[in-house]
Amino acid sequence: MITLNVNGESHQFDVSPEMPLLWAIRDKLNLTGTKFGCGHAMCGACVVHLDGEAARSCSIMVGEAAGKRITTIEGISGPVAEAVTHAWQSLDVVQCGYCQSGQIMSAIVLLNENKNPTDEDINLGMEGNICRCGTYVRIRRAIHQAAKALA
Amino acid sequence: MRVNLATLPFFDFSRREFLKGAAATAGAFVLGAYIPFSREAFAQEQGPAKGPYDPNLFLKIEIDNSVTLISKHFEMGQGVTTGLATLVAEELDADWSAMRFAFAPNDPAVYNNLVFGPVMGTGGSTSMAESWEQARKVGAAARMMFVGAAAAKWNVPASGIKVEMGVISNGSGHRATFGELAADAMKTPVPTEIVLKPPQQWQLIGTRLPRLDSKGKTTGTAVFAGDIRRPGMLTAVVRRPEQFGAKPVSFDASEAKKLAGVVDVVQISRGVAVLGTDTWAAMRGCDALKVTWDASAAEKRSTSEILAEYRQLAGQPGLVAPGRGDAAAGMARAAKTLEAEFTLPYLAHAPMEPLNCTLEVHGDGAELWSGCQLQSIDQLVTAQVLGLKPGQIKIHTLLGGGSFGRRGNPMADWVVEVSEIAKAIKGRAPVHLVWTRDDDIKGGFYRPLVLHRVKVGLAANGTITAWQHRVVGQSIFMGTPFERMAVKNGIDASTIEGVIDTSYELTDFAVDVHNAKSPVPVLWWRSVGHSHTGYVMETVIDEIAQATGKDPVALRLELLAKQPRDAAVVRLVAEKAGWNRPFPRGKGRGRGFAYHQSFGTRVGMVAEVSLTPETVKIERIVAAVDCGVAINPDVVTAQIEGAIGFALSTALRNQVTLREGVVEQRNFDDYEPTRMREMPEVEVHIVGSQEWPSGIGEPGVPPLAPAIGNAIFAATGKRFRSLPMGLKTLA
């Protein structure tokens, strides 16, 4: 049995420690806000927070995640998460929306680490998140807006 | 599997009237449209509705005052649910914050796409155009019924009653909400004469209303097809052949079945499916399979060999499309000629959500949960595989994590797969089919590989005396249920759209086509034929400008002299981009222009780029668009911004290539979409218009690549006649 702490709650799983965290979250916990995009840590649709750090859940095994605080899009809270979500909504960033959980999870980590990111900081912080709808113009604007709201 | 729409009855969809829902929930108001013909072949629910809402509906108003648009269209990010709700809310005088949306069940009798029906489906950038009148009439009829109900209840003249923000009132103190009057409104006759607001009375159309799907998509609560969970559900992953057209002969599942969570392995027509208790088990099981294939009918050529065949075909006359004038005579008059050959690759759609769906077979039918872009086709193929009537298949449309055409496959390939798997396990468990990203990139149904040859005759004074244009590529429509809509005299309209219907005045103009054949399946890909014709036309126009010493904008305006709407877009984007001001070229900087009309929408773009010998940076794109009435200008802007992001990686690097029939790409490392650092600044300008709205989902794609190519030419003198350009961006 493996115990995972997800969004502040403890869950026990009878799964192989090699199962990618993504599938434990989606298929065992039915927390479906975290998305499957590429399976190889290339697109960021599956980003969650592990002890507050951005992590690609498709490429982390549950065995590695055990003992860490795992936060998914459903469990985010606090002023940074609120500012980011609000900015995303007020600017209508989303199109298909499939990548946006991962985008928001990465943006929260970026703003936690850097209160006033420059465009270049955003390029680096968001490099691993693909949006096939091409909403990057608004993602950038939303991160700047959230930073302003938090200042 | 062949989908044959001819097995479906065709009906006269011209008669259309509104009706009230036959079986509304208590106290609620429902309104729909009804087409008087037998719905047995199509409707998934017959007779009185059993569910929470009657499926024959466009609109539901609850006693809590919420107004739900029942969307006939699929939301894949293009904003269609917000757009349709805007039209209804405008005429209803609803409060925008009370608007909701839900997806309609499959029923083309009610939800027919008025442009390409008789089917329920979304595509071709038709949604707002086909719903423009219908959705407003739904709102207007409902409003009239509420006014009528209020007049009767309050015993006051209807003329003194007004509706504002979901509240019905009159000057003498009467007041009620939609919810309070819903039951009375239901008893009011449906009006036969429906008067729509004149544009000067619009309060919502043309304004920036927030998207209805923003909240769900920013909180992880929006339900995509892949998020469906059914009791006892098994997840299936399919091993498909490496070469298109190969078939499974036999398989060895002994290793796969040793893995924990692997439940079953079944052979289907396209491959072998592993069913597991979760996605990871099914993926691992699939990796452990050994499959023997019959590749006798498979595509075994490499891309270079296919292109060699295309070139051979291009050397001979093809099927002649109806052109204009006499191109041969015009060519004889030319003082000089310009000839160019272009090749554009197979392209994968690569929506962020890989294809998936869930099928549950019951005793008396089945239910499909999917990101359905063509509900009627999905229903039909499921029924055909399961041996049921279409009416026994209930379709649940869910949000699509992108599509770009892939989810609107007339062959419904992945729906066929899930149906065959469910059949193979005798329907004993719901089947959730998941494609991996590798499956998606390697899975076919690509934008066709095409070759264009263009010869332009130029007079000594620089005018165009003739334009001869030949296209070689696979037809998208042939062999599909939509063939008779798009194929005439062997020519698929989508192969030459954007050429044959160019806005430019070409008086002596000839277009011909060769239909290449290959087992590689092809499909419409965001902007369809325009995705290649736009590039070719706008590159050639730029080459003509250069060859004749004309300004690229001035040349276009000359050729658009009789097309005022097109010319206005060219002028607007040129003005906003400062085209007439000198461009500070500096080292390796260039500016390029492109203009293209597709799906009735006109888009012009100016690209500003800077280059080093190895890399390119797209600094800024200024765009102008005329899509008729811009129902929600912010959605229009977003679609142009997004189209630029989508098209950019295609211009620079994306391609699907074959090596001895095997796709050489497999994931986002070798088929890499645009990333944040590559995204240019974007400015979008919308032409104010009261013309009938046209589409906005696709038309932003075609002009981007030629604008960039023309900018690179301006900077370096290097002309890219083929895509992708193969340029890297700065890290």
Q: Which of A73, A93, A130 shows the shortest C-beta gap to B220?
A: A73
Q: What percent of chain B has pLDDT over 90?
A: 81
Distance, CA of B238 to CA of B257 (rounded, Å): 15
Q: What percent of chain B has pLDDT over 70?
A: 92
ipTM above 0.95, yes or no: yes
CB within 8 Å: A94 and B227: no
Q: How far is CA B420 from CA B197, B385, B390, B435, B465, in A?
A: 50, 6, 16, 15, 56
| Higher pLDDT pick, B133 / B24 | B133
Distance, CA of B241 to CA of B248 (rounded, Å): 8
CB within 8 Å: A28 and B399: no
What pLDDT is attached to residue B31?
A: 56
Q: What is the CA radius of gyration of chain B?
A: 27
Q: Which of A30, A38, A94 shows the shortest C-beta gap to B217?
A: A94
Query: What counts of helices (H) and strands (E) characterise chain B?
Result: 19, 31
Q: Which of B211, B223, B278 shows the shortest C-beta gap to A94?
A: B211
User: Do B618 and B682 share a domain, yes or no?
Assistant: yes
The domain boundary residue, chosen from A75, A102, A117: A75
Q: Which of A89, A106, A110, A136 to probe by mutation at the B interface, max B CB count within 10 Å? A: A136
Chain B nearest-CA distance from A98, in A, is 5
pLDDT above 60 for B33: no
Q: What is the pLDDT of residues B631-664, one digit of tens each?
A: 999 999 999 999 999 999 999 999 999 999 999 9
Answer yes or no: are the C-beta atoms of B277 and B234 closer than 8 Å: yes
User: Do A41 and A95 share a domain, yes or no?
Assistant: no
CB within 8 Å: A39 and B437: yes
- pLDDT band per the 50, 70, 90 thresholds, residue B610: very high
The answer to the question of residue B12 being in a domain is yes
- pLDDT band per the 50, 70, 90 thresholds, residue B43: very low
> Using a CB-CB distance cutoff of 8 angstroms, which residues of chain B are in contact with residue A130?
352, 668, 673-675
- pLDDT band per the 50, 70, 90 thresholds, residue A4: very high
Chain B nearest-CA distance from A151, in A, is 22
What pLDDT is attached to residue B28?
A: 54
User: Do B418 and B544 share a domain, yes or no?
Assistant: no
User: Do A59 and A105 share a domain, yes or no?
Assistant: no
User: Do A48 and A104 share a domain, yes or no?
Assistant: no
Distance, CA of A84 to CA of A137 (rounded, Å): 15
| Higher pLDDT pick, B37 / B377 | B377
- Within an 8 Å CB–CB cutoff, is residue B211 touching chain A? yes
pLDDT (mean) for B264-291: 98
Q: Which of B278, B669, B675 shows the shortest C-beta gap to A23?
A: B278
**Residue with token string 């009537």:** B389
Chain B nearest-CA distance from A42, in A, is 6
> Using a CB-CB distance cutoff of 8 angstroms, which residues of chain B are in contact with residue A72?
220
> Using a CB-CB distance cutoff of 8 angstroms, which residues of chain B are in contact with residue A27?
235, 278-280
The domain boundary residue, chosen from A17, A46, A75: A75
Mean pLDDT of chain B, nearest integer? 91
CB within 8 Å: B218 and A104: yes
What pLDDT is attached to residue B481?
A: 85
Name the nearest CA neighbour of B591 among B583, B600, B599.
B583
> Using a CB-CB distance cutoff of 8 angstroms, which residues of chain B are in contact with residue A123?
676-677
Q: What percent of chain A has pLDDT over 70?
A: 100
User: Do B569 and B670 share a domain, yes or no?
Assistant: yes
User: Do B699 and B631 share a domain, yes or no?
Assistant: yes
pLDDT above 60 for B56: no
pLDDT above 80 for A5: yes
- pLDDT band per the 50, 70, 90 thresholds, residue B617: very high
The domain boundary residue, chosen from B418, B442, B466: B442
Decide the pairing of beta strands A47-50 and B29-34: unpaired
Tell me the residue type at B273: A
Instruction: Give the CATH number for residue A45.
Output: 3.10.20.30
Q: Which of B220, B635, B646 shows the shortest C-beta gap to A132?
A: B646
- pLDDT band per the 50, 70, 90 thresholds, residue B53: very low
Instruction: Please confirm whether the linkage preceding B55 is cis (ω < 30° from 0).
Output: no
Measured N-to-C along each axis, helices B633-652 and B704-716 cross at an angle, to the nearest 10 degrees, of 50
Name the nearest CA neighbour of B395 among B45, B32, B40, B36.
B45
CB atoms within 10 A of CB B315: 9
User: Do A17 and A52 share a domain, yes or no?
Assistant: yes
User: Do B236 and B330 share a domain, yes or no?
Assistant: no
Helix (H) / strand (E) containing B163:
strand B161-164
CB within 8 Å: A127 and B404: no
User: Do A18 and A66 share a domain, yes or no?
Assistant: yes
Q: Which of A85, A129, A136 shows the shortest C-beta gap to B219?
A: A85
Instruction: Give the CATH number for residue B373.
Output: 3.30.365.10
Q: What is the pLDDT of residues B370-420, one digit of tens each?
A: 999 999 999 999 999 999 999 899 999 999 999 999 999 999 999 999 999
Range of the domain at B110: 5-218
Name the nearest CA neighbour of B385 among B360, B354, B363, B418.
B418
- Within an 8 Å CB–CB cutoff, is residue B227 touching chain A? yes
Across the A:B interface, residue pairs with CB atoms under 8 Å apart total: 182
Q: Which of B436, B638, B676 shows the shortest C-beta gap to A92?
A: B638
The domain total for chain A is 2
What pLDDT is attached to residue B27?
A: 55
CB within 8 Å: A139 and B76: no
Q: What is the pLDDT of residues B675-694, one digit of tens each?
A: 999 999 999 999 999 999 99
Q: Which of B78, B286, B352 to probe by mutation at the A interface, max A CB count within 10 Å? A: B352
> Using a CB-CB distance cutoff of 8 angstroms, which residues of chain A are in contact with residue B645?
131, 133-137
pLDDT above 60 for B295: yes
Tell me the residue type at B318: G
- pLDDT band per the 50, 70, 90 thresholds, residue B12: very low
User: Do A146 and A105 share a domain, yes or no?
Assistant: yes
The answer to the question of residue B312 being in a domain is no
What pLDDT is attached to residue B38?
A: 28
| φ and ψ of B5, to 5 deg | -70, -20
- Residue B261: closest CA among chain A residues belongs to which residue? A15
**Residue with token string 């050529």:** B301
**Exposed, middle or buried: residue B551 (CB in 10 Å: 0-12, 13-18, 19+)?**
middle
CB within 8 Å: B218 and A31: no
User: Do A62 and A94 share a domain, yes or no?
Assistant: no
Least confident of B25-39, B65-79, B370-384, B601-615: B25-39
User: Do B366 and B256 share a domain, yes or no?
Assistant: yes
- Residue A18: closest CA among chain B residues belongs to which residue? B280
User: Do A58 and A99 share a domain, yes or no?
Assistant: no
Q: How far is CA B660 from CA B243, B301, B303, B724, in A?
A: 8, 5, 8, 21
Chain B nearest-CA distance from A106, in A, is 13
- Within an 8 Å CB–CB cutoff, is residue B683 touching chain A? no
Q: What is the pLDDT of residues A51-108, one digit of tens each?
A: 999 999 999 999 999 999 999 999 999 999 999 999 999 999 999 999 999 999 999 9
The domain boundary residue, chosen from B442, B475, B496: B442
What pLDDT is attached to residue B731?
A: 60
The domain total for chain B is 3
- Within an 8 Å CB–CB cutoff, is residue B617 touching chain A? no
Q: Which of B82, B218, B635, B698 to probe by mutation at the A interface, max A CB count within 10 Å? A: B218
Range of the domain at A49: 2-75
- Within an 8 Å CB–CB cutoff, is residue B673 touching chain A? yes
What pLDDT is attached to residue B378?
A: 94
| φ and ψ of B481, to 5 deg | -65, -15
